[in-house]
Each structure stands twice: as structure tokens, then as C-alpha cells.
A and B are shown apart, each in its own frame.
Chain A
Amino acid sequence: MQQDWINALVGGLVIGLAVSLMLYLNGRVTGISGIIYGTLNPHKNDMQWRYFFAAGLFLGGVFLKIFKSDLFSGALPTDVSTVVVAGLLVGFGTILGSGCTSGHGVCGISRLSPRSLVATIVFIFAGVLSVFVFKKIGVL
């Protein structure tokens, strides 16, 4: 249990370092949903870095997979159709809501953005309610 808390804190600090580098080097917010959405809306000169960022996220995953593959354990044992619905909601919701855990939850709150503060409280509450309800009706 205590080890989990330490891992979470260390991982969080590493994420803090990553988003700080993005700001220092490129002057950008590391909002993952927004970066991915940008690749679906082609603008010249604003595309390549997005693909490179996604590649970095993936290659980091490859590195983790090689050295500690159990970090990818624990998928939820739901129907595949549930995974599809979850993905659609996350894709649609993060763009309508202008951000996800990284853009709002980390970058936005760090600069005390009122929009990000509200969004983060809302999506955490919605997530808690979602787990409560879907557990109750037997989906989760």
C-alpha cells in the first residue's frame, strides 16, 4: 500500500518534469487529448510535433513493456463493447470539454486556471459516479 503511494508520487513528479520540459522548450501545454485532436485537424507547420509526441508516449510504453511488463496488467474484465463505449465517451468528452487529465488536471491546475479546476472536479466526480452506477448494474 505505502509503496503504491510512493510510486504514484514519484510518477507524478516525472510527469511534472515532462510537462515542464514541453513548456520550456516548445512553449506548449501537454494536453494529450488536444495534441491528438490536432492531428485530425490538419494545419501546416503544426502537425509533425504532435506525431512525434504520440510516438514518444508509445516508445515510453515499449520501454516499460520490456523492463516491467506488469505495469500494463489489470485491464478491466468487461465486454469489448463496453471498452468501445468508454473510448467513444473519452474521445468525444475530452474535446468538447477542452482537455483531459493532463491538460486540465496537471497543466491547468498548476497555473490555477479556473476552467481546468472546474473541469477536473467535474470529471473526477463523474468518474466516481460512473464506477458506482456501473458497478451497481453489473457492467463493471
Chain B
Amino acid sequence: MKIIMKNSLSALIVGFIFALGLGISGMTQPQKVFGFLDVFGKWDPSLIFVMIGAIIFHFVSFRVIKKNHKPLFSNDWHVPTKKEITPALIFGSVLFGIGWGLGGYCPGPAITSLASFEMRPIVFVVSMIGGMLLFKMLDSKYKFKR
């Protein structure tokens, strides 16, 4: 099998498992996300355990996996190495956080929720891609330092 196909099938399986994790955890229910962010109201901190669970698993697995010379289906690691805290990093994260609170979706759960064939996730994902295209347009003009 060609390497591109191996990468693609791997990504398909990873996406599928990831979606199951999102569904089990409660991340695909905007009301739960709202409850998690509603710290000064009726706070429901349960979703913090999604991050805790994922980080505990990957904190260990990352170190084990990186001991390998290279990934199974690639000649190199493609892990970001940037360290600099830029204004774009901060400002972009602020905008993301505002939108996350407002819509109750971050990108992954939004795409998985398309499978519900309901209006809101569909509108959200279309708008999200619109926001990315808007970024692309402005970036080609202003060349943001991310």
C-alpha cells in the first residue's frame, strides 16, 4: 500500500476514535460546555476531566512514542517546536475562547455533531470555515507572525 494511503487510513481511524471520545466525554453537548464555562453561575466542572484524562494518557504515551526513531508511516516527526509567545497566539486564543463560550462548540465536537444533521452544528461549521477563509485572506495581505 502506498504511504499516502496508509497515512489516510490511519487518520480515518484516529478521527473515528477521537469522535467516540468526544461523544462519551460530553463535549458534543453545548449545554455541558456552557456549564463548564459558567464558573460564576451554575458551574459544572465535570468536563475538566476530559482534559485530565487525555493529558494523563498522552503525557506518558508521547514520551514512549518519541523514543522511536521515526513514526510508523512517515520519515519524520511533524511536531511543532515553536516556543515564542506571540501577540497572535494570545489574541487568537481570546477570540477562540469568546466563540467557544458563545456557541458551545470547539472545532472537533462541531464536526462530529454534523452527524446529528441538526441546523446549529451545520451553521457553526460553515461559519467556522468562513472564519478560517477570512483569516487566510487577511494573512495573505498582512502576513501575521503567529
B1-52: which residues lie under 8 A (CB-CB) from chain A?
A: 4-32, 34, 37-41, 44, 46-52
Main SS at interface, chain B = helix
**B71 & A90 in contact (Cβ 8 Å cutoff):** no
Given contacts A48-B7, A55-B15, A93-B92, contact A1 B46 (CB under 8 A): yes
Main SS at interface, chain A = helix
**Residues of A in contact, count (CB < 8 Å):** 111
Complex CA distance for A45 and B96, rounded to whole angstroms: 29
Given contacts A40-B136, A52-B9, contact A60 B89 (CB under 8 A): no
Given contacts A4-B46, A48-B7, contact A89 B102 (CB under 8 A): yes
Question: Contact partner of A106 among B4, B54, B77, B78, CB < 8 A?
Answer: B54
Complex CA distance for A68 and B28, rounded to whole angstroms: 12
**A89 & B95 in contact (Cβ 8 Å cutoff):** yes
- Proximity bits, A1-39, B CB within 8 Å = 1, else 0: 100110111111111111111111111111011001100
Question: Which of chain A's residues have a CB closer than 8 A to the CB of B20?
Answer: 14, 60, 63-64
A52-90: which residues lie under 8 A (CB-CB) from chain B?
A: 52-65, 68-69, 71-76, 78, 80, 82-90
Question: Contact partner of B8 among A52, A107, A108, A119, CB < 8 A?
Answer: A52
Question: Which of chain A's residues have a CB closer than 8 A to the CB of B66?
Answer: 23
Given contacts A5-B46, A86-B105, A127-B37, contact A16 B7 (CB under 8 A): no
Question: Which of chain A's residues have a CB closer than 8 A to the CB of B88?
Answer: 96-98
B76 to chain A, nearest CB (A): 6
B121 to chain A, nearest CB (A): 8
**B54 & A49 in contact (Cβ 8 Å cutoff):** no
**A61 & B113 in contact (Cβ 8 Å cutoff):** yes
Binding site for A on B (CB under 8 A): 4-32, 34, 37-41, 44, 46-59, 61-62, 65-66, 68, 70-74, 76-80, 82-85, 88-108, 110-116, 118-121, 123-136, 144, 146
> What 4 additional pairs, Cβ within 8 angstroms, besides A36-B128, A56-B15, A91-B130?
A60-B112, A63-B19, A85-B127, A93-B97
